[in-house]
Homo-oligomer: A and B are copies of this chain.
Amino acid sequence: MPRSVSANRQVPLHTRISEQLREQVLLGEFAPGDQLPSEHQLMELFGVSRITVRRAIANLVNQGLAETQQGKGVFVKEQRKVFYRLSNPMVFLEEDMARQGVSCGIENLVLEKMTAPSKVCQTLQLDPTTADVYFQKKLFLLDGDPVAIDITYTIAEVVPLGNELASRMTFPLLEQWGVPIERIETTLECTHADPPVADYLNIALGSPILVYRYVAYTLNNRPVVCGESLSRGDRLCYSVVLTKNHS
């Protein structure tokens, strides 16, 4: 017998079904990691066609509540968010993550000295003809999964040993090299995974992505590093402490 998804004829069937499943998930009838009924079972349960069931499941996936695995089934998604603390100076990241019960790592993808692209020249206030920067692309791993891709441009002049950038975090290295970071201008926004990002982070096209952009300044308002971090919206979030700015 079809279950009671009859109320409110104005709301589409697939929505009524996904809403009912959503309720059950939120009430704990299905725990994180649990398998939901199969498409076939849901078809019988609600007395609807497969396409409608699939649409309902798509709604849940779209709301970040479920994920599908071909050949296996649909599962309630587990919440595994970790806070990335934005501060200056940067805290020692590994410790911060360990405190949250996850291991972290960096996988270097690209590290090369190059002449700065024009956009980078602008933000770093460089002379386009002579400006060299280190360009680095790296993955940030949590418990082995890639959760963020980071792209950084560092003015070559302040980097004594380029290779060290490959294995260490950028900001602590700069401090160590006698380049104190006085100010970091940052922005945070929400976008969607495009094909390369989806590929790197091993997620579906269009998955929500948190974008963190930054320009870091040393003494005398001189910019030395800029870049951006694209992270999985379902795995990372940011925390900031705003202290009183006596101006």
Q: Which residues of A contact B (CB under 8 A)?
A: 15, 19, 59, 62-64, 81, 83, 86-89, 180-195, 205-206, 208-210, 233-234, 237-245
Contacts and interface: CB of A to CB of B under 8 A. Distances in A.
Contacts of A233: 189-191, 208
A1 to B, nearest CB: 26
B243 A88 contact: yes
Contacts of A191: 64, 233
Given A183-B242, A189-B233, A190-B237, 10 more contacts: A59-B206, A62-B205, A63-B206, A83-B187, A88-B245, A184-B241, A188-B188, A190-B210, A191-B233, A208-B233
13 contacts: A59-B206, A62-B206, A63-B192, A86-B242, A88-B245, A89-B245, A184-B242, A187-B240, A188-B237, A188-B239, A190-B209, A208-B208, A208-B233
* Count of identical protomers in the assembly: 2
B192 A190 contact: no
Scoring A185, A208, A234, A238 by chain B CB atoms within 10 A of each residue's CB, the highest score goes to A208
A5 B63 CA distance: 30
Given A181-B244, A245-B87, A245-B243, A15 B205 contact: yes
